[in-house]
Structure 1
């Protein structure tokens, strides 16, 4: 069990932020830490907040590492495209040799990069590069 000591200023800040922070995830983190500051057991905090014990420990460790500012950080997992490094090369190639259909674009892209994707994924990728749909 992680034992934390909270000052009155920190308690007041947690209480305020749990209602007034613009992001709901941060509000939940503040709520959990505020409950912890009220000496409520971990099991009861998990039940009240609707979180798992592992999530509670993550929030407590974040608070230990960086205080309230660390709790305000929002880090969603956003994987990068495997083709990000080849984006410019592909764009130049498709501008010189525009595909007539999306299936042709899928085939050419697979030939050039060795990475196979569905027509929907290729269409989305081409649009992200600023290319227009002709007969896709």
Structure 2
């Protein structure tokens, strides 16, 4: 089972909480450049596959991600859990998924408590961009790619508690209370 989503990291300074007796000024980068990471996390074999670009996320990038998932041969059926974005829910993607014997399981519009890869995006941003100044877009991109490349080695210790299959379930609550 693969959990799929895209993270759109915009070049800039991501604020975080820092405690200090003195006032601390954080240098800020300005720019409208975006680094897109289209990732897929396999919850069973604990493997991460990504397609990255600096342009736009569209049907072609989604198809490239499906081909990368299919290239990793696993035992049993392949299911991809994803959102209802247009580039993920069109005829081309559905036809390619059928050709590659991949089952597509669409989740509600935004349900981070049911998509495991959202936890990975939070971890990625904390490790590579929060509270850090990157002098140029190349350094920003390199920091993200470095964190992604170390998921199976350096950051493997933090993953078991973060990437568990425990999902938060919310009870139905009546909004019309007496």
Q: In which range does the TM-score fall when normalised by the shorter chain?
A: under 0.3
TM-score (norm 2): 0.20
Q: Greater helix percent: which structure?
A: 1
TM-score (norm 1): 0.24
Q: Greater strand percent: which structure?
A: 2
CA radius of gyration, larger in: 1
Larger RCO: Structure 1 or Structure 2 (Cα < 8 Å, ≥ 6 residues apart)? Answer: 2
